[in-house]
Structure 1
């Protein structure tokens, strides 16, 4: 190995970011949003989850027609999202997905997203922390002991979440 192939260790006390490993892509199909209105907590909406699929090196299966994405828009340029739903893996086991997300962009871009219009994903900051839980006695119990983060993209009829395991 040449000297330029060797990595220099970080200086003592220098923070080192943990590695990320792609686990799966979750593509969620949604129904039309139900708008509650402008509440004391901002505009509130509920988006029914109607299905979808999961594919990747760590998990494959389908999103069941159960659950919803509860949305809060405290300001025109910020959305807090809480989506809870169930995935059925190809081996028949179920995984509960509890995803907490932040979506930001210009007020105009978020208005377009809320209206079901297509917005360039590069214009929207969409980050999430999905919690995946499975049966402790099953082969996917490792999910219960793993921290995940993700990125998201919203389209008029669904959401695409890239899920990464934090090392």
Structure 2
């Protein structure tokens, strides 16, 4: 039976002890300081456990044609060029839901010094039954190098009201983004649930 009067170890003391032990182990290998991390033994490749490695699969949830206004530059920052693209409307549909993209949202962008773009779009969509869904779509676009295609993927967070669309609140969504220019001033967003 455990002794309830025994004091619990101090978390800071445990962290300091752990750091000292790992330092001693590296010193025992003749390694210390920043060189220790560079010269430490390589970790084995692959999974760290015997559990089967099962990749998540995806299921299509909806696609949206999001209409946009011209890009507005907000100037440079220490992290890169800041830009904003107003969202002016559009439509969306999928197997279980459809409706319109409402105007008033915006896509805030950061073009980093290395050419990678970070997009953070926040807007609302209205389902056919009138329910308003809030969408936050965070995209990373890495321009293709050496003939490789662009890398354009996103994480999508949806907030739906209680009721028939509440199932959207319980999903992890990932997405793709494609420009529809020059045919129209819009982007195509496809959303998939991880399953």
The residue aligned with 1:14 is 52
Q: From the two aligned structures, give the one with the greater helix fraction.
A: 2
Larger relative contact order (C-alpha < 8 A, sep ≥ 6)?
1
Alignment pair present for 1:123 and 2:188: no
1:43 corresponds, among 81, 85, 98, to 81
Q: Relative to total residues, which structure has the larger strand share, 1 or 2?
A: 1
1:29-68 superposed matches below 5 A: 29-68=67-106
TM-score, length basis structure 2: 0.68
Residue of structure 2 equivalent to 1:103: 141
Indicate the residue corresponding to 1:27 in structure 2: 65
Give the whole-Å Cα distance in 2 for the aligned partners of 1:150 and 1:37.
Answer: 28
- Equivalent residues of 2:144, 2:151 under 8 A apart: no
Q: Could you report, residue by residue, the CA deviation over 1:1-25 in whole angstroms, capped at 9, with x for unpaired residues?
A: xxxxxxxxxxx52310122110100
Greater radius of gyration (CA): 2
What SS is found at the alignment partner of 1:123?
A: coil
Q: Root-mean-square deviation (CA), in Å? A: 1.8
Question: Does the aligned pair in 1 maintain the 2:122–2:137 contact within 8 Å?
Answer: yes
Partner of 1:115: none
User: Are 1:77 and 1:106, in contact at CA under 8 Å, matched by a contact in 2?
Assistant: no
Number of aligned pairs?
142
| CA distance in 2 between partners of 1:153 and 1:75 (Å) | 22
Give 4+ residue runs of structure 1 displaced > 4 Å after superposition. none
How far does the alpha carbon of each residue in 1:17-43 deviate from its partner, in whole angstroms, 9 at most, with x for none? 122110100110000011012212200
What TM-score, normalized by structure 1, do the two folds share?
0.79
Tell whether the 8 Å contact from 1:53 to 1:63 is kept in structure 2 after alignment: yes
| Cα deviation, residue 159, structure 1 | 1.1
Q: Which runs of 5+ in 1 are unaligned?
A: 1-11, 108-121
Q: Deviations over 1:50-106 (max 9, x none)?
A: 001101213210100111000001125200000000000111111000111101114
8 Å Cα contact 2:141-2:152 kept in structure 1: yes
1:113-140, Cα deviation, whole Å (9 max, x unpaired): xxxxxxxxx832110011111112x211
SS in 1 for 2:107: strand
